[in-house]
Amino acid sequence: MIYILGIESSCDDTAAAVTRDDYLLSNVTANQEVHRNFGGVVPELASRAHQQNIIPVIEAAIKKANISKNQLSAVAFTRGPGLLGSLLVGISFAKSFALGMKIPIIEVDHLQAHILAHFLRDKTSVKPVPVFPFLCLTVSGGHTQITVVKSPFEFQVIGRTIDDAAGETFDKAAKIMGLPYPGGPLIDAYAKEGNAAAFHFSKPNIPNLDFSFSGLKTSILYFLRDQLKLYPDFIEKNKADLCASIQAAIVAILLQKIKSAADITGIRAIAIAGGVSANSALRNALRKAEGENNWNVFIPRMEYSTDNAAMIAINGYFKYRNKDFADLSVTAYARSSF
């Protein structure tokens, strides 16, 4: 049996998890509240909070897994992409812990980890895991891409955003409306009471499988600026309808591209991953499209959608089986490597 300690510290969540083979034993996350009032993640504050959280979070993960740290086979950590100061906290801990325990370290790419989270098993798992090759729409705060996943080690990106990420668009739209960071979950919540057809925002016209969200963001900004001049309480009075309409516009852009990707590749197994895959409208739209297009759709459980360390541990498990270990000289990277 392979026991992996997974560590995730790429952005504003300090997380640790323990897996036994592909089975999740514990999954602990400390969210950082310090960024809420700044409208986004403040890198320096994030790395300081990671420093404070990392030991308690790892201790809690090992304790909850009900194992002794001597049983661990390896330590897997997020190498990138992410904030360098934040990544360094996790990487430095992983290196020194592994050195002390005389076990190998395994580097994990954060985006590949989001995708492979679909292979985690736990006591409530019932549904089958995706069969290779499958398409994955990865939508997070920093990334939006469509990947052909050929194996746990082969990822081919066939479309990506040319400007903002989907999560960033949610967060920026929320900020324009005066909502705190991160705005995605708040827009999702307010949208439940709103009419998605109330307002229309411009849709991008981008060829191939790439995405663009900056036009939508500008159209929201200008529309609200004009309305606020006429009606100062426009946002307050129309919050639910605005959220529902903005969300519908983002989901429509995502759906259109994943449909094209399925048509072009002929692949009918479709997965979503990343923080925005927690969005209820995106989940509902995919379920609907599954029936209409004869797809097989895979939607991660909520706790494996947003950043977590369980996804790092499962990647570590796959790499451990391949003896794909990192050297102690390994360093963090800020941008995606694939």
Q: Which does 130 bind (CB under 5 to 8 A by kind): ligand KG4, Zn ion, none?
A: none
With respect to ligand KG4, which residue has the nearer C-beta, 20 or 257? 257
With respect to ligand KG4, which residue has the nearer C-beta, 98 or 314? 314
Give residues in contact with ligand KG4 (CB under 6 A): 11, 140-142, 167, 170-171, 182-185, 188, 274-276, 278-279, 306-307
With respect to ligand KG4, which residue has the nearer C-beta, 11 or 135? 11
d(CA 145, CA 69): 37
Rule CB under 5 A: choose which of 9, 29, 140, 161 binds Zn ion.
140
SS3 letters across 178-229: CCCCCHHHHHHHHHCCCCCCCCCCCCCCCCCCCECCHHHHHHHHHHHHHHHH
**Beta strands 3-8; 13-20: pairing state:** antiparallel
Q: Which does 278 bind (CB under 5 to 8 A by kind): ligand KG4, Zn ion, none?
A: ligand KG4
Q: Which does 279 bind (CB under 5 to 8 A by kind): Zn ion, ligand KG4, none?
A: ligand KG4
With respect to Zn ion, which residue has the nearer C-beta, 168 or 307? 307
Residue type, 95: K
d(CA 24, CA 65): 8
Work out how close the CB of 103 gets to Zn ion at its nearest, in angstroms, rounded to a whole number: 26
Work out how close the CB of 66 gets to ligand KG4 at its nearest, in angstroms, rounded to a whole number: 27
d(CA 165, CA 211): 9
Q: Would you call 94 helix, strand, or coil by DSSP?
A: helix
Work out how close the CB of 45 gets to ligand KG4 at its nearest, in angstroms, rounded to a whole number: 16
Work out how close the CB of 323 gets to ligand KG4 at its nearest, in angstroms, rounded to a whole number: 28
For position 164 contacting Zn ion by CB under 5 A, the verdict is: no
With respect to Zn ion, which residue has the nearer C-beta, 43 or 215? 43
Q: Which does 14 bind (CB under 5 to 8 A by kind): ligand KG4, Zn ion, none?
A: none
For position 53 contacting Zn ion by CB under 5 A, the verdict is: no
Q: In terms of C-beta density within 10 A (0-12 exposed, 13-18 middle, 19 or more buried), how is residue 170 classed?
A: buried
Work out how close the CB of 259 gets to ligand KG4 at its nearest, in angstroms, rounded to a whole number: 20
Q: Which residues of 194-203 are buried (b: 16+ CB within 10 A; e: fewer)?
A: bebeebebee
Alpha helices in the chain (DSSP H): 43-65, 84-101, 110-116, 166-176, 183-191, 214-230, 234-265, 280-293, 302-305, 310-321
Residues lying near Zn ion in the complex (CB under 5 A) are found at 140, 307
